Amino acid sequence: MLEELGIRAKEAEKELMVATTVEKNAALKSIADALVMSADEIIEANAKDIQNGIDNGMSKALLDRLKLDRERIEGMAQGVMDVVSLPDPVGRVLNSFERPNGLKIEKVSTPLGVIGVIFEARPNVTSDAAALALKSGNAVILRGGKEAINSNTKIAQVMRAAVKETGMNEDVIQLVENTTRESSTALMTLNEYVDVLIPRGGAGLIQAVVKNATVPVIETGVGNCHVYVDRDADIDMAVEIVFNAKTNRPSVCNAAESLLIHKDVAKEALVKIKNKLDEKEVELVGDKEAIDILKNSDEVSDGFDIEEATDDDWATEYLDYKMSVKIVDTLEEAIEHIYQYSTGHSECIVTESIDRANEFMDRVDSAAVYVNASTRFTDGGEFGFGAEIGISTQKLHARGPIGLPELQSFKYKIYGNGQIR
């Protein structure tokens, strides 16, 4: 069954691989129009998912992520139109050179081929991922969660019809309608037909994919991000950066989870940061030094008490109004702590010292390393890449925001006139 999807995807990919920008943009515009035109049908399908969610006791937060209304569908269509305006990443000459024997070699960007996307509750991922895949010349096999199956099925149906209307093979977009665990595992091992797998969702999903996939994976998303307030920090700036990185949107992967403060500025910085975080009722856990500072200061505002951090705390991505705090003796100790506990997503140093900033940025091995800015900027839109399909935390192929250029492979074209070895 899933193999059939694979066969059809490979077949559709043969044409999509060499489709022109005009053809691809026409298909995308058709998708955007169709989503808006079919809003009522999509909302109707979504209502079934919502009802199932309520029946199954789904949390309010998850129900909200699942819900589609006209405004959100228009947002999805706008997302597709945004992809239309992005440059076509296919067929760019990345390098070109001539060898002494006269061979001319061109390194040219090409689509990856067939991309499998495994994702959780949010149905808007269906159109996001399909649009990015199509523009970058990749056929896509979407496998969403069972919570959104009615919405996803309808959205996929609408998109496929819209693509077909422009004369393109509709199998460039396919949805796995079977949402059992078996269908997920089958997709992860469909090496003959799937070139790359991108999981989008929580740590559990991502680990399951990393563990079970034999298809190459681009790992995304888990962010145990650190902000380190250095000895030479501007403390007021540090307060703003920590507050923003933690509370601007705590549920996303580029939110900060752990705060490190140099001992020389710990007293002033921690009290100010704690008082600011209290505005959003952020719960703190800390090491003994941090607890001592807060217990012994008479400038601490009322708010949550700080608890002692366990070893698990240092490794935890809370995705919530909670943060761990550690006082470090040296920049070295901060870097070592990050080596040990970071997931390689985003880390920040707040400092006025160029030397210390450079040491931190050279030695911390994460996708994005910041000096004096919030970790919340690790995002395709904020980087100016346009849309993104996720944030890669692995080092192979793509690191950081995965935009259209990251959805490309390349090939070498070699022009000869009879050369032999």
Among 36, 81, 161, 371, binds a copy of itself (CB under 8 A): 371
Rounded Cα distance between 48 and 413, Å, is 51
Q: What is the CA radius of gyration of the chain?
A: 24
Contact pattern for a copy of itself over residues 338 through 367, marking x by CB under 8 A:
-x-----------------x---xxx-xxx
Give one word for 371, left, alpha or beta, with left for phi > 0 and alpha for psi -120 to 50.
beta
Cβ within 8 Å of residue 182, ≥6 positions away: none
Query: What are the Cα distances from residue 73, in Å, to 77, 125, 365, 396?
Result: 6, 12, 39, 34
Crossing angle, helix 235-247 and helix 263-278, to 10 degrees? Answer: 50
Of the ranges 33-41, 81-89, 213-221, 305-313, which one interacts with a copy of itself (CB under 8 A)? 213-221
Binding of a copy of itself at residue 28 (CB under 8 A)? no
For residue 220, give the DSSP letter: B
Of the ranges 48-56, 268-276, 313-321, 404-412, which one interacts with a copy of itself (CB under 8 A)? 404-412
Rounded Cα distance between 157 and 155, Å, is 5
Among 3, 14, 44, 192, binds a copy of itself (CB under 8 A): 14
Q: How far is the CB of 396 from a copy of itself (least distance, A)?
A: 4
Yes or no: say if 260 and 294 are a contact pair by the CB < 8 Å rule.
no
Nearest Cα neighbor of 138 from 409, 351, 400 is 409
Binding of a copy of itself at residue 400 (CB under 8 A)? yes
Of 264 and 359, nearer to a copy of itself (C-beta) is 359
Contact pattern for a copy of itself over residues 129 through 158, marking x by CB under 8 A:
------------------------------
Binding of a copy of itself at residue 378 (CB under 8 A)? yes
Binding of a copy of itself at residue 413 (CB under 8 A)? yes
Q: Name the 3-class secondary structure at 303.
A: coil
> What residues line the site for a copy of itself (CB under 8 A)?
14, 17-18, 97, 99, 103, 105, 110, 112-113, 191, 195-196, 210-211, 214, 216-219, 234, 237, 240-241, 243-245, 248, 339, 357, 361-363, 365-374, 376-378, 382-384, 394-397, 399-400, 409-421
